[in-house]
Amino acid sequence: MDLRKANRILCYIVLILLSILCLFSFYLLIVNSTRAHSQIQKGFSFTIGGFFNANLKNVLDNDELPVINGIINSFIVSSASAILATYFSVLTAFSIHTYDFKFKRIFFTFIMMIMMVPNQVSALGFMSWMGKLDLMDSLIPLFLPSIASPIVFYFMLAYMQSNLPKAMVEAARIDGASEFRIFNQMVLPIMKPAIAVQAIFTFVSAWNNYFIPTLIIRSAEKKTLPILIAQLRSADYLKFDMGQVYMLIFLAIIPIIIIYIILSKYIVRGVAVGSVKE
């Protein structure tokens, strides 16, 4: 056996082990979602239980947990956040990449400085501002700030600098295409792999966001899934049911898996886009 073949086998073994470690938590979640509270307290089991339908019924029939509304609210917030963050970040990156204007470096530095500020620092000011705008207990503050996403912008700019030659933009302008036509019909298709990656990350981040929704949302029908999961976990001892907790978490990860499956094909296609160079 030559050295190259041995290295390949070793790589496969390492990848298989890493895959098992990553998938084990999902398997544990699925198993526990099919078990009763008393069975979960006894410890881990590799065997699938018979309480999946019972746990699902208990979660959906829980009057204190509007699960369907929570799923819809989380999907609205996460989808809107992903769309706004990716589209406007690509638009901002396009302006920084293709235009030469005064204070360009200052604007770029300012955006990078904002990227270093954690959400917790501005949370109280943001909450106070939303109160003045009469947007408390609304889903709008949960996704509208995604228009300004410095981290997404930086990723888009780095990808654009490697895969969008300025000569292509100049040629389109010479042919008489408007700026928005160039952006929507030429730039966005080239940026699809980057958009897919950041859409997945933004969607997952917004889906799992607990801190800001807790500060903004008050009414039960507007609560998102992370709030409902925390509410279910903090139930008193008599109402606490680990089977329902695992079932609710299981329901929460299904949309994330679906979104990843839908967008993952664009990530693979990104390899071909890298061949376009200036």
Which pLDDT score is estimated for 16? Answer: 93
The reply to whether 30 falls in a domain is: no
Instruction: Name the residue range of residue 92's domain.
Output: 51-273
The reply to whether 38 falls in a domain is: no
Q: What is the CATH number of the domain that holds 211?
A: 1.10.3720.10
Looking at the structure of the chain, the number of domains it has is: 1
The reply to whether 237 falls in a domain is: yes
Which pLDDT score is estimated for 270? Answer: 53
Give me 59's structure tokens.
């979660």
Instruction: Mean pLDDT check: name the lowest of 147-151, 226-230, 231-235.
Output: 231-235
The reply to whether 6 falls in a domain is: no
The reply to whether 2 falls in a domain is: no
Residue type (1 letter), 56? L
The reply to whether 261 falls in a domain is: yes
φ/ψ of 66, rounded to 5, equals -75, 80
The reply to whether 29 falls in a domain is: no
Q: Angle CA(135)–CA(198)–CA(115) in degrees, nearest 5?
A: 65
Distance CA 139, CA 217 (A): 8
Taking residues 86-114, report their average pLDDT.
88
Residue 269 has pLDDT above 80, yes or no: no
Residue 206 pLDDT grade (very low, low, confident, very high; cuts 50, 70, 90): very high
Taking residues 27-35, report their average pLDDT.
89
Q: Angle CA(109)–CA(82)–CA(259) in degrees, nearest 5?
A: 140
Residue 220 has pLDDT above 50, yes or no: yes
H helix runs in 34-165, sequence order: 37-41, 52-60, 67-98, 104-115, 119-132, 140-143, 150-163
The reply to whether 42 falls in a domain is: no
φ/ψ of 229, rounded to 5, equals -65, -45
pLDDT in tens, 39-98: 888 887 788 888 888 888 888 888 788 889 999 999 999 999 999 999 999 999 998 988
